[in-house]
Amino acid sequence: MNYIILDMEWDSAYCPRISRFINQIIQIGAVKLNESFEIVDTFEKTVRSSFSKKVSGRFTALTGITTKDMLSGIPLENAVTLYNEWAGTDTVTMTWSNSDLFSIIENEKNLMRGVKFHIEKYLDLQSYIQNEMRVLGFEITSQIALGKAAEMLGITTDNLELHTAKDDSLVCAALLKNHYCESRFNELIKDTQNPEFYKRLLFKPTYLSDIRSREIDRRKLRFKCDVCGSDTKRLGKWNYRNHWFSANFSCKSCDRKFSGRVSFKKLYDNVVVKKRICEIKVAQKSNEVNDEVQSVPEKV
């Protein structure tokens, strides 16, 4: 079993053939690690765009890859074919965040004439490292850039150029070697041959907006009084605004009145429910309700 850390640099460009912008892959870089996470080989190919004559200034500033570099690259299908030969079989492929997979899918569909990246098993290294950082006591609330994670974990990147595909992969390798936990790592390895994998990846979460939806658990539409804990009665119709349903409620024992709010976010295999109890605002102008003020999250 080998481990491959794959990193791509892509540039957004307008593709006339599909009449829209696409994040075209301009560089593929990767490192191959053995089972002790030692680097056994590296890969780097720059791709010549099949439709644009230059790369964006922003892209060059970020990656150091110039238009001249891009124009002297090889076609994307050739680069991917060489990559697949280099990668071999029996591998776990990792990328720093699964956003690379979206880019891969988009490039495969629109630019690669039937050639596909050979990825068998997959692990989102960003998600793995962020989890390890949480275990170490770091407070992680949003996705962390690779350079930032390296800095926080004390990995030196002085002699590397971040945002070139190969060097990014080397930083990933160093992070992994220093923060490897077999059980938590294995738990995150996904089999891309399972059709569920891409279905789940491409699933877009949505908020339910129809109160009669079968996916809404009716029990979640009830509220307990936040003062005395008794059952409450809904006083009027449900309103829907900014992903939240709201209605006014009255406590059956203490007569407390409040606005009960609930949202339903549909994920791939469950619905996440959030509930809040807010004070009823007396509208200054008609129909205007001041959201979120004085709201206290209610446990569900």
Site for Zn ion, rule CB under 5 A: 225, 227-228, 230, 251, 254, 256
What is the smallest separation between the CB atom of 299 and Zn ion, expressed in angstroms? 17
**Strands (DSSP E) found in the chain:** 2-15, 20-33, 39-48, 74-75, 91-95, 121-124, 190-191, 206-207, 232-234, 239-241, 244-251, 257-266, 271-278, 296-298
Distance CA 110, CA 289 (A): 46
What is the smallest separation between the CB atom of 219 and Zn ion, expressed in angstroms? 19
Q: Please say whether the beta carbons of 3 and 92 come within 8 A.
A: yes
Give the nearer residue to Zn ion in terms of CB position, either 177 or 256: 256
Give the nearer residue to Zn ion in terms of CB position, either 10 or 258: 258
Give the nearer residue to Zn ion in terms of CB position, either 121 or 256: 256
What is the smallest separation between the CB atom of 258 and Zn ion, expressed in angstroms? 9
Give the nearer residue to Zn ion in terms of CB position, either 59 or 258: 258
What is the smallest separation between the CB atom of 251 and Zn ion, expressed in angstroms? 3
Distance CA 217, CA 277 (A): 18
What is the smallest separation between the CB atom of 226 and Zn ion, expressed in angstroms? 8
Write phi, then psi, for 96 (nearest 5 degrees): -85, 95
**Strands (DSSP E) found in 57-152:** 74-75, 91-95, 121-124
Give the nearer residue to Zn ion in terms of CB position, either 58 or 233: 233
